[in-house]
Amino acid sequence: MLARRPALRAVSVLVAAVSLTSGGFLVVEPLYARHVLHRPPSQFMLFEAAAGIGGVLADLAIPRPRQRIDRRGALAVSAACYGLAAALFIGTRWVAAAYTGAFVWGVAGATFGLSLTTLQRLAPARAHGRVMGVIGTLDSAVTTAGLPVAGAALAVLGIRAGALSLAAATVAAGLACLAIAGARQRAEPATAVQER
């Protein structure tokens, strides 16, 4: 099913990119808190709490504009924003700015999760279970793979540069899928006119 539908393949790429950053940041956050911010290990959990608050508030605020989130390209934009928010979070040496980044990262994660309703529109109803199963398996596998990938990136590049490279992968995937979706959208009217 995923192999035959380019839009579902794009969703798979976006889920993999976000999952890689999410899993990798489980390695990054404690090291960032300790070695960059010079804070105790408990700081990692406080950042997680800030991200959680951002996610919950976004979930409460989003139901009204949900129709806008369910448009073509919204998933790609939300993936790119997820990567940018991760970079905002980890790209500073100030604790207050890191809290702000963690909060925004939580908002971006909630928005990405909501925009996954795109899958329900893209897949035929009879295939929803299979598609969601494949996407869920992909999410778990890439999140797990993100742990050693992050470890290697941090060992080679350092804490902040390694973390920013993980965030950059998600931004790049989001922007690439957005560009592809835009090109397809522009091509569809031209194809429809030619068929008449």
Q: What is the CATH number of the domain that holds 124?
A: 1.20.1250.20
Tokens standing for residue 193: 């006119």
The single-letter DSSP state of residue 127 is: G
- Asked if residue 120 is part of any domain, the answer here is yes
- Asked if residue 155 is part of any domain, the answer here is yes
Question: What pLDDT does 194 receive?
Answer: 46
pLDDT tens sequence for the chain (196 residues): 556 777 778 888 888 888 988 899 899 999 999 999 999 978 989 999 999 999 999 888 876 655 555 555 777 888 888 889 989 888 888 999 999 999 999 998 888 887 677 777 777 788 888 888 888 898 899 999 999 999 999 999 999 899 899 889 889 888 888 787 666 666 555 444 444 4
Question: What pLDDT does 55 receive?
Answer: 92
DSSP 148-170: HHHHHHHHHH-HHHHHHHHHHHH
- Asked if residue 1 is part of any domain, the answer here is no
Question: What pLDDT does 195 receive?
Answer: 44
The closest of 14, 11, 13, 17 to 123, measured between CA atoms, is 11
Q: How far apart are the first and last CA of the chain?
A: 30
The answer to whether the beta carbons of residues 84 and 104 sit under 8 Å apart is no
- Asked if residue 123 is part of any domain, the answer here is yes
- Tell me which residue range forms the domain holding 175: 6-195
The domain total for the chain is 1
- Asked if residue 130 is part of any domain, the answer here is yes
Question: What pLDDT does 53 receive?
Answer: 95
Tokens standing for residue 36: 């960059």
The closest of 24, 148, 31, 164 to 90, measured between CA atoms, is 164
Question: What pLDDT does 192 receive?
Answer: 43
Amino acid at 125: A
- Provide the whole-model pTM: 0.80
Question: What pLDDT does 143 receive?
Answer: 92
The residue to which tokens 């951002």 are assigned: 54
Cα 76 to Cα 72: distance, rounded to the nearest angstrom: 9
- Asked if residue 68 is part of any domain, the answer here is yes
- Asked if residue 184 is part of any domain, the answer here is yes
- Asked if residue 23 is part of any domain, the answer here is yes
